[in-house]
Structures are given as C-alpha cells and as structure tokens.
Chains A and B, each alone.
Chain A
C-alpha cells in the first residue's frame, strides 16, 4: 500500500492503516528517538506521540515536499525533543518541590523547638517552689528590681535575692539535664562551635553542602537554644553573685 493511500485511510479513521504505518516506521522512529533521548521510556513516548499526531491530523504530511519516511523520522525527532523538554521541566519542578520540602523542616523544627522551649521552661518553672517562682516572675517578667521584689513580697532584700538566685540555679540544673539528655558529645561540641561564632547558617552549608538529617539539625538547634539559656542563667547568676555589695551599699 502506498504511503499516500495509507494516510488517506488513516484520515478516514481506518485503525488498520495506522497499525500498518506503525509496523512500517515505528522501529526506525524509535531508533531516532533513542538517539535524541537516550531513554527507552521517553523514546516509546515520543513514538506514541508521533503516531498520535499522525492519527489526529494525517494531512500535516505534504507529499509535495518529500516522502513519508523522512517526514515520520523528523516527526519522531521533534516528539523526542519535546519529551526531553517535558522531562527536564518535570525534573526542575521536582527539584523546586524538593527545595521547598528541604526548607520546610527548618520552619517545622523552629516551631517544634519554640514549643519545646516553652514547654521545658514552663516545666522547670512549675517545678520551682512557689515563693521562688513568684520572685523570679517579679524580677524577670515584670522587671522589678531586687528591692522592689523584696518590698512587693514583704521580705528582706537578702531573702528576695536568695529566692531569685536559687530559682535560677534550679532552672540551670534542670536545663542542663535536658541538654545532656538531648545531645551526644559530638553534637554538643559541634553546637558549641557553631554557637561560638553566633553563626546561624544552615547546617548543610556548614558541612560542605552535604545535607544533614532533620534529627541532627534539630539536635543542633536544640543545643543552641539550651546553651543560650544556660549562658543567660550564668549571666544572671554571676550578676547576683556580684551584686549584693553594690545593692547593699545602694539601698542601705
């Protein structure tokens, strides 16, 4: 059957004709597509796409411009290039989604950590004796001076200072226990190294671009916050250790 007759039959919806055409040209079209895509899957798709295009509109072929075979090979090549383009676009899209998923855990970790931090601090504060908890709250939440805390509580200044200092020491002990539970020695060292520079770059960048697991990143961030909390507690404690003389001198 001549090519033009075959195409005329395809135009009339003759399913046998497209099968004959497929048998006649598909292997060579596949070879052409393979040369473009280097992928069996994409090449099969390209050949199917090419035959679908012929099926849908066989009049696209103009016999005045050449014979059917080269036209089919050219069509296969174009469809193969389209398949490569689609695949590349899909890979780009996948990479973007991966990036979003990659970045999302940081937000999740932050949010989880914020929750954990609140929960841990609240737990530690709740475990304090009532008088110490109240003194701490007056000093650090309401911002009262030690003298004001003492006046508000109706207790001597020294007692107020002792309650606040003892409360801080208890919090420190409690948070240190959390830190030792949460971090391995290696993680602790790394987190301190990172914290020492105040560097909050992404963990993967610190490790030469190698992605870290969410667990490791979470541990590092957890250690970071704990260490900040400890430093704060140490600072406040140091302040209390040094302050009595000045405070006594100022108030008395």
Chain B
C-alpha cells in the first residue's frame, strides 16, 4: 500500500483519436467475459480503423477467444462465462460487420458451415465478414450441418467457394466426412474450391479433399482472392 498522497495528475484531453492499441486481446477477452458486446465492438472498431479485418480478427479476436478458452481450462472462468463470451463475440461481430453494398448481393457466393456435431462458429462468423469485405456473397450455415444436407444445399445453388471450420480437434472426423461427401457428389460440386480450418488443424498442412488448410483468416482471404472472382461472376456462369 502506498500511503503518501498521489500527485495531482492533469486532465485528459477530451478528444481522443482512435487508438488500435486499445484492442489488446486480454482486454477484449475481459470484455467478452463480462458480456460487454458494446465495448467489445468498439474495441474492434478501434483496431479496424488501422488494420485490415483479417488482421484484426487473426491478431485480436482469435487470441482473445483462445484466452477465454485457456481461462476456462485453468478453471478461472466457468463454462457459463465462456458461453457468455461466445455470445458477446457474436453480438460484437454483428455490430462491426461490413456494410451491405449493391455489389455484395451479386458477388461470388461462398458457403460456410461447421460439420455435424460442431458447435463452434465464431471462426465462421469472422471469415464471413472477411469475405464480405472483399465483395463475396456469404451464406453462413453455422453450426452442426449434416454432411448430406450440406451437399444437397451446395448442389442446389451456384456456389463458388466452400469453407468448413471446426472448433476442436475432436471434430476432425466429422470434417473428413463432410469433405468426402462433397467430393463424392461429382460434377461441378466435386470441383469446388474447398477450405478447411479451425482448432485442431493448426499443425496440418494438407487435408484430404480440401483445396487448402487455412491457419488464419489471412490465409483464407488470400485463397479466396486467388480465385479471381468478381461481382457478377455468378451471373455469367
């Protein structure tokens, strides 16, 4: 304890410019754990003012959620807190999502999904926004999508890219089943560019049937851009 009087500190200037340094993963994690999606979104927006969306999500959001997981594993935070953080993150992401443009409605289409039994979808939500920023039209199917249903969905529409994500290594098998089902469909579906990513795949360079194993959103963004699809491409098919 410091018993001596604190010196008089100056008032802080009223106008503070956006400062991406506020967006530290530890701070974001504490906000999410408190369910403060408003401030979490504000912190993300501070970083987005200075860096690309893929960078912010890779370098701030992802480490923050990993920290939430670590705190849960260490018993510092309960399952409820972890769930609260997940919900808060989804809400915060919805607050900072890219603005819709006329072109985004006619952009190339990406279908995102988590395979059967997989409940973690924060990565898909982040990827959706990164792709939307680049003009993609994203159809994010979210959690727990059965392989057969996923194939039927993709086969029924014009799709340019598929991305599948898992949250734990335990779901690697279901991911394989989903990829295999898509490749077994034949025709144009079997030829679709297909990315996989998420926890459990960090140390994997290749995944059978997948075009790419993404270790970051930046990887996914680069791959999507490499497809050289532009708004309206879907209409020209």
Contacts and interface: CB of A to CB of B under 8 A. Distances in A.
Interface of A: 10-11, 13, 15, 18-19, 22, 26-32, 34-36, 40, 43-44, 47-48, 51-52, 55-58, 66-67, 69-71, 73-74, 77
B12 A26 contact: yes
B203 interface: no
A74 B39 contact: no
B208 interface: no
Contacts of A55: 2, 6
B1 A15 contact: no
Interface of B: 1-2, 4, 6-7, 9-14, 16, 19, 21-22, 24-27, 30-31, 36, 38-39, 42, 46
A22 B38 CA distance: 26
B98 to A, nearest CB: 22
Contacts of A36: 39
B7 A15 contact: yes
Given A48-B9, A67-B26, A74-B27, 12 more contacts: A18-B9, A22-B9, A27-B19, A31-B16, A32-B39, A35-B38, A35-B39, A55-B2, A56-B2, A70-B25, A70-B27, A77-B31
A62 to B, nearest CB: 12
Contact of B22 (A22, A66, A73): A73
Contacts of B27: 69-70, 73-74
Contacts of B6: 15, 18, 51-52, 55-56
Contacts of A71: 26
A60 B122 CA distance: 33
Between B16, B38, B42, B46, the greatest number of chain A beta carbons within 10 A of the residue's beta carbon is seen for B16
A147 to B, nearest CB: 86
A29 B25 CA distance: 16
A10 B24 contact: no
A57 B2 contact: yes
Please classify the interface of chain B as helix (H, G, I), strand (E, B), loop, or mixed, using the class held by over half of its residues: loop
A28 B43 CA distance: 11
Contact of A34 (B16, B25, B31, B46): B16
Contact of A77 (B1, B7, B13, B39): B39
Please classify the interface of chain A as helix (H, G, I), strand (E, B), loop, or mixed, using the class held by over half of its residues: helix
What 10 A-B pairs are tightest by C-beta distance, nearest first? A70-B27, A70-B26, A30-B12, A66-B26, A55-B6, A70-B24, A15-B7, A31-B16, A13-B4, A73-B27
Contact of B1 (A28, A32, A43, A57): A57
Between A28, A36, A47, A67, the greatest number of chain B beta carbons within 10 A of the residue's beta carbon is seen for A28
Nearest to A22: B9
A240 B122 CA distance: 92
B11 A44 contact: yes
Contacts of A15: 6-7
A28 B9 contact: no
Nearest to A52: B6
Nearest to A58: B2
Between B4, B22, B36, the greatest number of chain A beta carbons within 10 A of the residue's beta carbon is seen for B22
A51 B25 CA distance: 22
A74 B38 CA distance: 14
Between A18, A36, A43, A55, the greatest number of chain B beta carbons within 10 A of the residue's beta carbon is seen for A55
A66 to B, nearest CB: 4
A197 B31 CA distance: 59
A42 to B, nearest CB: 12
B39 A69 contact: no
B119 to A, nearest CB: 28
Contacts of B11: 44
Contacts of A52: 6
Nearest to A73: B27
B19 A70 contact: no
B61 to A, nearest CB: 14
